[in-house]
Amino acid sequence: MKLTKREKNMLGVLAGIIFIYGYINFIINPQILKIKYLKSGIKDYESIIAEDNHATDALSDLKNIYEKHLKNVEGYSKGYFTSLEQSTLILLLDSFINNTELEITGVGFSDYRTEQLGSTELNAISASIPFSGYYESLLDFLRQIRQNNKKILIKDINILNNGEGQVSGNVVLDFYSIPSLGVKKLSSSIIEENSYSKQNPFDPFEGYIDELFDYLGNDEINAQPNYNQNQDMFAPQDNIAIEDIKKTLLEGFESLDMFFVGNPREVDGNVSRDTNKKQGNYSIKLQYDFLMQRGNNIANVVFDNIKPSISIQPEYISISVYSYEKNDHKIGFVLKDAVGKEYNILLADKIDWIYWSTLEAKLPEEVTYPAQIQRIYVQSNNPESKINGVFLLDNMEVAYRNTLHHSYEKDNHINSN
């Protein structure tokens, strides 16, 4: 079949249309879609870049705020110690003392504690410093404390006039640090068990018995009563009496349920609570002034409503007493038993210590129990002794002795089963 010219032209046009359709559908349209996709990706990346720029600006702002606050914190922390190690504080106090003529006999530190200042927790420690010297030297010492760039607070100060410009007394200083600024954690040291230590330090070393015979001689050893050379001298005996002392708190001096009485009435003084303590939270501070030298002056701390009571005969009674200076005053207490008889119990016939000291005294066997402590007294019988003083009282205890009879034969029988 022969195509006409017109049919040939129409087939040519149809082929052209098919070609154009295929080109557009399979080449042009995919490129257009790809361009649209790339444009959409460009917008997404532009959005990410904008967010990154915003984050960068925000990070820069935060960095500036952080540096500002850091400077504020550093400026705030400059007023506190970075360490409360006692050795560091002793060196600091020593530098203060060397610049004055004040005589310091020692420094006593309290236990570590924490205190709350707003939302900030502070580490703190107190130092009790007894002093003596001229009043101007004391002012120089206090002036150096005030001018120091670290936070040192004068918590308490007692000053006694010794005449001729001389003073003595005690000052309590508080030192502070911030734990979050590099201060070491306050913890107790732990003694670890070493491989080279003995299991029982009282076990005799190998060859001890032979050396003992060589040193003392067989005759002296054999002369000991009931000694059998074939018996192990370190073997446990059948019946051993083990004595143990148990202490019971009689008065903790936490409440101010006591008052001051002078004898004679002209003796002046007062009783108050103090945070320099041996146990608990407080101690009792006794301040007294005999005003003049007499043959007999007594300052009394009288228990008011609740008096310390002892139910049975103790091994001994003890009390912790803090002295700021040495003198020849006496300290004791008055005990009243169940039949109304009073006993004057002397604890110390003179004050020969500074800081805390534990005084002990035995009670008379003729006391009828229960018995109560009526008062604690400080007495001066010497007209030439000091006429004033300050003491802290704390931790009154009674001690009882327990005796436990222990049978090794019984234990060995039980262990063998």
Those residues with Cβ within 8 angstroms of residue 78's Cβ, 6 or more apart along the chain or in another chain: 149
> What stretch of H or E contains 415?
helix 408-416
Contact 176, 151 (CB under 8 A): yes
Distance between CA atoms of residues 236 and 288, nearest Å: 57
pLDDT (tens place) for every residue of the chain, 417 residues total: 677 888 778 888 888 888 888 878 888 888 888 888 888 888 888 888 888 778 887 777 777 777 776 666 555 566 778 778 888 888 888 888 887 888 887 788 888 888 887 777 888 899 888 888 888 888 888 888 888 878 788 888 888 888 777 888 888 999 988 765 443 433 333 333 444 344 454 455 555 555 555 555 555 445 544 445 454 544 444 454 445 788 899 999 998 889 999 988 888 999 999 999 999 999 999 999 887 777 788 999 999 888 999 999 999 999 999 998 888 889 999 999 999 999 999 999 999 998 899 999 999 999 999 999 999 999 987 767 778 889 999 999 999 887 544 444 444 433 333
Report which residue type is found at 361. A
The architecture CATH gives domain 86-181: 2-Layer Sandwich (3.30)
pLDDT of residue 322: 94
Contact 280, 317 (CB under 8 A): no
Q: What are phi and psi of 328, to 5 degrees?
A: -105, 25
The architecture CATH gives domain 249-403: Sandwich (2.60)
pLDDT of residue 214: 56
pLDDT of residue 183: 37
| Maximum separation of any 2 CA atoms in the chain, in Å | 162
For 36-96, the DSSP string reads: HHHHHHHHHHHHHHHHHHHHHHHHHHHHHHHHHHHHHHHHHHTTSBS---HHHHHHHHHHH
pLDDT of residue 118: 75
pLDDT of residue 181: 47
pLDDT of residue 187: 39
pLDDT of residue 218: 53
Q: Where are the alpha helices (DSSP H) in 78-177?
A: 86-98, 135-147
Beta strands 371-380; 388-407: pairing state: unpaired
Residue of 333, 312, 310, 317 whose CA lies nearest to 398: 317
